[in-house]
Amino acid sequence: MSTGIRLVTPEVWSGQVFDGRWRKAASTISVLEPATGEVLGIVGASEVTALDAIAERALAAQRGWAATPAEERAAIMRHAADLLDRERGEIINLIMRETGGVRGKAETELNGTIGELIHSAALLIAPEGQVLAHPDPSKLSIARRVPLGLVGVITPWNFPMLLAMRSVAPALALGNAVLLKPDPQTSMVGGALLARLFEEAGVPAGVFSVLNGGADIGEGLIALPAVRLVTFTGSTAVGRRVGELASRNLKKVALELGGKSPFIVLDDADLEAAASAGAWGSFLHQGQICMASGRHIVHRKVVDDYLDILTRKAEQLKVGDPFRTEGVAIGPIINSKQLARVDEIVHSSVAAGARLLTGGVSQGPFYRPTVLAGVNPQVPAYHLEIFGPVAPVVVAEDEEDAIRIANDTEYGLSSAVQTGALERGLRVAARINAGMVHINDQTISDLPGIPFGGMGQSGNGSRFGSTTNWEEFTQWRWMTAGATPARYPF
């Protein structure tokens, strides 16, 4: 294993693709910095015609990797975590520039990525099987977890390193080979950097590959018969397409999709604390998070005061380039298409009857944090996942109405309840249709050791996290063994 190396090495990955070794690409993808529009770096573009060969090499490498002692695989995961930690300053800067996130977001993403590696190493201390009862006492009956073989991972641009690693690390640790397809907008920190990481950490050539490109590469990856599991994080619309394509070859699919996470504020809540949590939940990373607080559902008795506080907080947030300007809380929207979509949802919602209390304007790639009051089911911001720094506020008549509104969505990813009484929060939380509920906190939270995932159209019941990774990234094999050959009547 190498020491004293650098991971952030554009001179290594520029114009290159990685399938266990770096190869010069026939064409390239320019990665733009959202805050400036300048070319941040260049990666090699993968070719659909090369996917079969890449998968074949990966499967050949996987057999040896799965036979590698668990202690060695765990040591490589821990070494990868150490390598990231040693180079944290440069990596955080690259995350900020490539995703447009503020420094705190970048630090959180890197820390979470390191946590995924450490938790994946710890998976290998768990029992990998069971001894089962058998009616013939002379036979040994064993159920054992074995690798799936080849895993495809398709990731988005908003947390490209973390959302890749939560699948890549456990898949590798448990003996699989991985083909990673990052979003082309973040294919350096979400792809090339991870290739450098595992190359230097000691993952054997071919066990980990990166596929750069658009939908044609993603669909080509899903169609590979050798890929037995596809994990996808992204929109619900694309998730349906992923599931459709994967079903043709009877693959496992783990889908973590969109959200419209309800943020309930009851009449006994601490409104300053609630508005602080609500602002964080809607405005963090410009609202470009699947768990963002999509609707603030506020009890009528306190809605006016809550709106005043939330609006004040939104107006105090500094907007700009977080890499070059100190104190910025709101960075750039990822691209002009998404910026236009956010603005369209805001202004069509105002046209439908919502009231714009603050924000609703952009300057270059930056969109002011926005508060919409009077949001109801006839307003687009009520139903649509905005993926921008917008806080739609809905009035609830009472606790029962707040629960009804919270569940009035096709999504079911995350949720939160603000209340002065814990028992009340527990009662309300138990009735919200969501995979995650936070009492007296906001909706955005993720840790390596939790069963992360949603209900409804937010996913297909799969879960990411060290509590569930054995189930997701391995499969059962039953084996019996007898000391003497069995004999039958014919």
Which one of 199, 256, 385, 399 is the catalytic residue?
256
- The SS3 assignment for 339 reads helix
CA neighbours within 13 Å on the CB side: how many for 398? Answer: 1
Answer for the pair 32, 183: CB distance below 8 angstroms, yes or no.
no
Answer for the pair 91, 110: CB distance below 8 angstroms, yes or no.
yes
Q: How far apart are CA 477 and CA 66, in angstroms?
A: 15
Neighbours of 475 (CB within 10 A): 14
**Is residue 64 packed enough to be buried (19+ CB in 10 Å), middle (13-18) or exposed (0-12)?**
exposed
> Among residues 483, 466, 453, 480, which one has the least CA distance to residue 173?
466
Q: How far apart are CA 398 and CA 396, in angstroms?
A: 6
> Among residues 328, 281, 315, which one has the least CA distance to residue 444?
281
Q: How far apart are CA 356 and CA 375, in angstroms?
A: 10
Helix-helix angle 103-123:160-173, to 10 degrees = 10
69: left (phi over 0), alpha (psi -120 to 50) or beta: beta
The two three-digit tokens of residue 32, written as one number: 């733009």
Q: DSSP character for 203?
A: P
Q: How far apart are CA 386 and CA 376, in angstroms?
A: 15
Query: Please, what's the b/e burial string for 205-229 (b: 16 or more CB within 10 A of its CB; e: otherwise)?
Result: ebbbbbbbbeeebbebbbbbebbbb
Q: How far apart are CA 349 and CA 326, in angstroms?
A: 33
> Among residues 318, 475, 235, 283, which one has the least CA distance to residue 392?
283
**Catalytic annotation on 256?**
yes
Helices of type H across 284-421: 303-316, 336-351, 380-383, 399-406
Enzyme catalytic residues: 256
